[in-house]
Amino acid sequence: MEGFLQVLKNLGAVRLALMGAILVGLASALTYVSNRMTAPDLALLYSDLEMEDAGKIVSRLETMGVPVEVRGGGTQIYAPSDRVARLRVELAELGLPRGGSVGYEIFDKADQLGVSSFVQNINHLRALEGEIARTITAMAQVSTARVHLVLPKRRLFSREKEEPSAAIMLTLAGAGLLPQRRIQAIQQLVAAAVPGLLPERVSIVDDRGNLLAKGDGHSEATEASNFEEKRLAYETRLTKTIENLVARYVGDGKVKAEVFADMSFDRVTENSETYDPDGQVARSTQTTSLGEQSHEADSNVSVEKNLPNAKTQQGGGSDNKLSRSEETTNFEISKKTKTLVKEVGEIKRLSVAVLVDGLYTPVEGKKEQDYKPRSDDELKNLTKLIKNAVGFNEKRGDSIEVVNMRFAPMEMVEATEAPSTIMGLEKHDLIHLAEVLLIGVLALLGILLGVKPMVNKILSGVQPAIRPVSDEEALAIANEDRRALPGGGGQQASLGGPTSAGALAGPDGTPEEAYVANTLKELEHMVTMNQVEGQVRASSLKTVGDIINDNPEAAVNVIRTWMMEDDKKRNTA
């Protein structure tokens, strides 16, 4: 322990701080890599949540022990990708998310005893609004919906009856407007869910402040918008018909058509009756005969006629006879009754404009192609085709223009290939795998190239300064190194064998000390050896190596002598 403390004292405060920083950085890098490799792959569980729903979902997931991450300002919740489907099913069983509205589950509470009728009516209204809002939210292009219902109370002894109404606020998904057909579908849906509510009494507004449905009880605006949609749909259909027909001849992308239809949306009903006098038929005949006979008396007045019991004289006056015959014949005259109803959408006039491109021929040595306009015969034939396709009627004042002009060059955009899988891994899986591998490689390179050399440099210390060495010092150091070798014993080794006592000569015949001194002058710096304690002269090592290379047999004899001396020492011991 004291040795370890002494090593720390020898390193100094600067080196210890540097080593600590390196260790902290290395630990942080290893922790980050391990967290990235062991962290689960998160996927989107829910988005566009209300804060209340988000809080309930996060609390429930944490209770279940599921790692969860909240993003998008609290509106998005991420969970492990392999458990997303199951978590959605489990949360749906619990009624989450509720979409910020309350449905009929408000009546599931057990503490309903003692609740007043007023509270019950309010809860029923809230539940009805919430259920309608959830149904509307299930439609495409609708993100969220809020519904407000006005259900007037029935008053006693009141002749006037107030009609219910509804107001709906929609949050649309995307930048487009809601089509008219879906607006009408929402109105019909709400009207069918609320008793006594008419579709014309439902007003709809989107989150951008656009009035989608007025809801004032009048359907004129709705009908006008329907008429406009019908006109646009008719123009679009004719435009596609013309472009598809002409493109078969001139090629795709070389024709553009525009159609304007002047349509009448007046509904006209005509009733007419027509009689044919030549088509008489006798239905019945009636004959009447009448005969009458009368007698006219004498009109002279006398005394005798006025006396009592006077006798009337016969033979006076005159007789009248009358006879009459009538015949009545009843005839049936043919009659034609005609009722003509002209529905809306009658075409009053058509205006068609068609623009076609010309011909292009490639030219050798040029990047651009030569343009050639189409002939008049081609344009006439195209005009005939278009007239027959759109139902041209000259009496209505229809007009069709086909013009040949050069189109502006179009920039070609390369089509993106469909995403493919490699070994069953999709794109995001491959990206995640590459990220983990890259982090691991960078960490390994940082350890090998940065941390390890820095630690070695700190532990090795500063190299001593190089200074020139005199001949006497070099000779003394060489003698000390030679005596320090195993078997040296301070005596000179012989080259003649175990019993030889001759002095060791240099390769050129010079004495040993002179040879060593000359050799030591060549290398005078210090080297550090990992396997030897302390430091030795590089010149000493080079001298020994040169002697062994020049006199291999003598070197073998010296080694034999050392081995024999070691054996003698062991036997003596």
pTM greater than 0.75: no
pLDDT at 463 over 60: no
For 40-100, which CATH superfamily applies? Hypothetical protein rpa1041 (3.30.70.1530)
Q: What residues are paired with 528 via a beta bridge?
A: 535
At 528, the pLDDT band (50, 70, 90 cuts) reads very low
Pairing mode, if any, of strands 142-150 and 526-528?
Answer: unpaired
Average pLDDT, the chain: 75
- Tell me how far apart the alpha carbons of residues 517 and 509 are, in angstroms, rounded to a whole number: 14
What are the pLDDT digits (tens) for 41-86?
788 888 877 787 888 888 888 888 888 888 878 888 888 888 888 8
pLDDT score for 390 = 92
Q: Is residue 326 a contact partner of residue 288, using CB atoms and an 8 Å limit?
A: yes
- Tell me how far apart the alpha carbons of residues 519 and 475 are, in angstroms, rounded to a whole number: 10
- Tell me how far apart the alpha carbons of residues 111 and 147 are, in angstroms, rounded to a whole number: 27
Q: What residues are paired with 371 via a beta bridge?
A: 360
Q: Which two tokens stand for residue 39?
A: 């962290």
Q: Which two tokens stand for residue 134?
A: 């959830």
Peptide bond into 308 cis (omega under 30): no
Helices 427-445, 13-38: crossing angle, 10 deg rounding: 160
Q: What residues are paired with 332 via a beta bridge?
A: 281
pLDDT score for 323 = 76
CA distance to 146, 167, 193, per residue, from 211 (Å): 15, 11, 22
Q: Is residue 80 a contact partner of residue 66, using CB atoms and an 8 Å limit?
A: yes
Which has the closest alpha carbon to 512: 558, 466, 566?
558
* DSSP per-residue letters across 188-244: HHHHHHSTT--GGGEEEEETTS-EEE--SS--HHHHHHHHHHHHHHHHHHHHHHHHH
Q: Do domains 40-100 and 234-266+344-404 have the same CATH topology?
A: no
Q: Which two tokens stand for residue 80?
A: 């492990």
Give residues with Cβ within 8 angstroms of 564, minimum separation 6: 498
Q: Which two tokens stand for residue 217?
A: 């009880």
Between 203 and 11, name the one with better pLDDT. 203
Mean pLDDT over residues 230-256, rounded? 91
Which has the closest alpha carbon to 201: 238, 150, 268?
150
pLDDT score for 243 = 93
Select the CATH number that applies to the domain covering 234-266+344-404 from these four: 3.40.50.300, 3.30.2010.10, 3.40.600.10, 3.30.300.20. Answer: 3.30.300.20
Pairing mode, if any, of strands 76-80 and 69-71?
Answer: antiparallel
Q: Is residue 101 a contact partner of residue 129, using CB atoms and an 8 Å limit?
A: yes
What CATH class has 116-217? alpha beta
Residue 30 identity: L
The SS3 call for residue 396 is coil
What are the pLDDT digits (tens) for 379-419?
999 999 999 999 999 999 999 999 999 988 766 655 555 55
At 204, the pLDDT band (50, 70, 90 cuts) reads very high
Domain locations in the chain as residue ranges: 1-37, 40-100, 116-217, 234-266+344-404, 534-572
The alpha carbons of the chain give a radius of gyration, in whole angstroms, of 59
Mean pLDDT over residues 124-134, rounded? 89
- Tell me how far apart the alpha carbons of residues 294 and 22 are, in angstroms, rounded to a whole number: 157
- Tell me how far apart the alpha carbons of residues 381 and 387 are, in angstroms, rounded to a whole number: 10
pLDDT at 344 over 80: no
Mean pLDDT over residues 502-507, rounded? 44
